[in-house]
């Protein structure tokens, strides 16, 4: 098999952007994907990209500047992320979006949505962008190799929130139009193919080859493949690797919403090469649920649950029948509440959790994929009274009755005294604007009552290989590993525990991927991985 200037492991958003940027520099690029499909986690995601001060938001009338974004990110990351990494993201992110629009058929729109912490200094609205509906014009054999979500219709997040004609949806389906993450992947894959990037599917790497501390290429079942300039790890996180989860996320076990296959391969390759790691106890947390029998690639399918938690007339409670979080907060921050450990009971206090709602709520909104027009399935528990429902769920009936009574009083006043639900712009985004005085608050009072079990979930892990601002993998001694780069969830997130806004995971991931591709093209002929040693990076952040 031929050698390449650049080898990319993984075909999610990070891998595709890195491949496109490197190929645009005139380098030969081979993308190796262990799945039979292109797209990874990105393809089933919402496809939002959080990039401050970008040209798309400016054209839409939203104001921003790098200084405000830096203030916001300093607060979000608790001062734990080196400043040069944040500055590199803020500089590279807008360049990356311009590059994608210049080198691919994709076009983006600015989402009218506030940052997830709108009350913080430096927060803005409009920093999130998303692909416009994209109609592929690629070869049919390539199109059939693209992963997409069977749970998402071909609509944008804005259209899904406001509603869209069924005729438009049917027309898009007939024309194979892709939106959100699937649209992003389709547009990038088409651009890569047109730039003569080679895709090798169902071909996992079994390891990396080295000369001393310089990466020379990859090992596969079909033999060694050399990389003249560098290998880019874009293999995703380790959320499906039970041993790694047990080692790095002890006690924080959660259900992965990502496609099976994110087994930490790239992380393992990096560790074997002596790479430093960071942020290993964090993930992109979320609330989630499972429908019995549903599977994805032979594994249990886990779905995110977001809007139902913020709509008026629902609450989430633990086994004591008590609310424990602002249900309308960002899913990453809400997900962290599942990891609260109670020394008294020596248990994770908020596991399991339950979404509780009444008949009026069930008849008004789609809940856990069940529209108002359908009867509640068996896994959606129901009972005539709150006491009976609590008994079915084996939770405190007294606690549940007391919690609901207090919540109903607050709902009538439009003020959540316990958790301030619906008191900021982010919480109200998923509320029902027809409900007054608070779009996120409504009573739970009309029987029968219902419950859906809510699981601690994750949209991928956040911990991974420590990298420089140009994506070079750091050795644990503070130098770089020659010829080895990482981006995506295989690399440590620069946002630490935080999640800045819609697209907060894809934004820095794609910016880093772009920076790697450009850096390889600029410095590739020098064939050194020690161009930008950052002595300030610690072995573990």
pLDDT tens digits for range 72-107: 999 999 999 999 999 999 999 999 999 999 999 999
Q: Are residues 450 and 327 in the same domain?
A: yes
29 is a domain residue: yes
300 is a domain residue: yes
Q: In terms of Cα–Cα distance, which of 382, 402, 404, 379 is closest to 392?
A: 382
Question: What tens digit of pLDDT does each residue of 445-501 get?
Answer: 999 999 999 999 999 999 999 999 999 999 999 999 999 999 999 999 999 999 999
Question: What tens digit of pLDDT does each residue of 407-435 get?
Answer: 999 999 999 999 999 999 999 999 999 99
Which residue, of 457, 485, 507, is where some domain finishes?
Answer: 457
- Residue 436, Cβ neighbours under 10 Å: how many? 10
446 is a domain residue: yes
Let me know: does 501 contact 116? Beta carbons within 8 Å.
yes
Percentage of the chain with pLDDT > 90?
94
Q: Are residues 340 and 214 in the same domain?
A: no
336 is a domain residue: yes
Task: Give the structural domain span for 392.
Answer: 287-457
507-538 CB burial, b ≥16 within 10 A, e <16 = bbbbbbbbbbbbbbbebbeeeebeeeebeebe
Q: What is the CATH number of the domain that holds 310?
A: 3.90.700.10
Q: Are residues 195 and 129 in the same domain?
A: yes
What distances in angstroms separate CA 75 from CA 71, 81, 117, one per listed residue? 7, 11, 10
Q: How far apart are alpha carbons 201 and 376 in whole angstroms?
A: 41
Question: What does the DSSP assignment read for 313-358?
Answer: TEEEE-TTS-B-S-TTS-HHHHHHGGG-EETTTTEETT-SEEEEEE
Q: In terms of Cα–Cα distance, which of 509, 528, 531 is closest to 85?
A: 509
Q: How far apart are alpha carbons 206 and 67 in whole angstroms?
A: 44
Which residue, of 425, 457, 489, is where some domain finishes?
Answer: 457
Q: Are residues 425 and 387 in the same domain?
A: yes
Q: Are residues 480 and 382 in the same domain?
A: no
Secondary structure percentages of the chain, helix, strand, coil, to 5: 35, 20, 45
Q: Are residues 293 and 343 in the same domain?
A: yes
Let me know: does 17 contact 93? Beta carbons within 8 Å.
no
Q: How far apart are alpha carbons 16 and 510 in whole angstroms?
A: 9
89 is a domain residue: yes
Q: How far apart are alpha carbons 473 and 46 in whole angstroms?
A: 28
Which residue, of 428, 457, 486, is where some domain finishes?
Answer: 457
Q: Are residues 27 and 173 in the same domain?
A: yes
Q: Are residues 478 and 445 in the same domain?
A: no
Q: Please name the helix (run of DSSP H) or strand (run of DSSP E) that holds residue 460, with its range, or none.
A: strand 449-461
Q: Please name the helix (run of DSSP H) or strand (run of DSSP E) that holds residue 209, with its range, or none.
A: strand 205-211
Q: Are residues 425 and 468 in the same domain?
A: no
What distances in angstroms separate CA 232 from CA 7, 16, 41, 236, one per listed residue? 6, 11, 17, 12
Give the number of domains in the chain. Answer: 2
The torsion angles phi and psi of 129, rounded to 5 degrees, stand at: -120, 160
Taking 70 as the pLDDT cut, the residues of the chain under it are 1, 524-541
261 is a domain residue: no
Q: Are residues 69 and 149 in the same domain?
A: yes
Q: Are residues 346 and 412 in the same domain?
A: yes
3-state SS of 482-493?
EEEEECHHHECC
317 is a domain residue: yes
Q: What is the CATH number of the domain that holds 211?
A: 3.50.50.60
Average pLDDT in the chain: 94
Q: Are residues 149 and 196 in the same domain?
A: yes
185 is a domain residue: yes
What distances in angstroms separate CA 539 from CA 268, 464, 473, 477, 482, one per listed residue? 16, 12, 11, 7, 17
Pairing status of strand 449-461 against strand 255-256? parallel
């Amino acid at each position: 098999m031929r050698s390449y200037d650049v080898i990319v492991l993984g075909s999610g958003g990070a891998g595709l952007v890195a491949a496109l940027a490197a190929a645009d520099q005139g380098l030969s690029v081979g993308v190796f994907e262990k799945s039979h499909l292109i797209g990874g986690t990105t393809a089933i995601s919402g496809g939002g990209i959080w990039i401050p001060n970008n040209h798309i938001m400016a054209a839409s009338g939203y104001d921003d500047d790098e200084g405000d974004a830096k203030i916001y990110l300093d607060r979000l990351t608790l001062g734990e992320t080196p400043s040069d990494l944040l500055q590199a993201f803020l500089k590279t992110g807008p360049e990356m979006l311009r590059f994608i629009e210049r080198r691919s058929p994709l076009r983006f729109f600015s989402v009218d949505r506030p940052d997830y912490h709108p009350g913080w200094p430096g927060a803005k609205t409009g920093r999130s962008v998303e692909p416009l509906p994209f109609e592929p014009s690629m070869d049919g054999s390539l199109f059939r190799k693209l992963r997409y979500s069977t749970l998402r219709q071909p609509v944008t997040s804005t259209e899904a929130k406001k509603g869209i004609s069924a005729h438009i949806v049917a027309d898009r389906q007939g024309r194979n139009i892709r939106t959100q993450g699937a649209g992003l992947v389709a547009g990038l894959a088409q651009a890569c193919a047109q730039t003569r990037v080679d895709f090798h599917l169902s071909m996992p790497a079994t390891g990396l080859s080295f000369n001393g501390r310089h990466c020379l290429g990859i090992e596969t079942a079909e033999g060694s493949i050399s990389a003249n300039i560098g290998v880019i790890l874009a293999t995703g996180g380790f959320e499906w690797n039970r041993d790694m989860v047990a080692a790095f996320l002890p006690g924080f076990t959660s259900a992965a919403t990502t496609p099976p296959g994110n087994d930490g391969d790239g992380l393992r390759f990096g560790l074997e090469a002596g790479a430093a790691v960071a942020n290993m106890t964090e993930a992109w947390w979320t609330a989630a649920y499972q429908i019995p029998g549903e599977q994805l690639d032979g594994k249990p399918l886990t779905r995110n649950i977001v809007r139902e938690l913020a709509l008026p007339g629902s609450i989430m409670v633990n086994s004591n029948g008590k609310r424990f979080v602002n249900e309308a907060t960002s899913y990453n921050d809400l997900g962290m509440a599942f990891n609260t450990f109670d020394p008294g009971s020596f248990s994770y206090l908020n596991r399991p959790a339950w979404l509780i709602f009444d008949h009026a709520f069930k008849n008004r909104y789609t809940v856990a994929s069940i529209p108002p027009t359908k009867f509640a399935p068996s896994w959606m528990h129901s009972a005539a009274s709150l006491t009976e429902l609590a008994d079915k769920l084996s939770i405190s009936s007294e606690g549940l009755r007391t919690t609901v009574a207090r919540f109903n009083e607050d709902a009538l006043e439009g003020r959540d005294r316990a958790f301030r639900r619906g008191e900021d712009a982010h919480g109200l985004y998923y509320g029902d604007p027809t409900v007054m005085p608070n779009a996120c608050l409504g009573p739970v009072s009309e029987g029968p009552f219902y419950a859906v079990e809510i699981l601690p979930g994750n949209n991928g892990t956040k911990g991974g290989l420590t990298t420089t601002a140009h994506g070079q993998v750091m050795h644990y001694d503070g130098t770089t590993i020659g010829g080895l780069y990482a981006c995506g969830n295989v690399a440590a997130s620069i946002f630490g525990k935080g999640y800045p806004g819609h697209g907060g995971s894809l934004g820095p991931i794609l910016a880093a991927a772009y920076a790697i591709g450009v850096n390889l093209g600029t410095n590739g002929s020098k064939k050194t991985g020690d161009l930008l040693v950052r002595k300030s990076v610690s072995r573990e952040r």
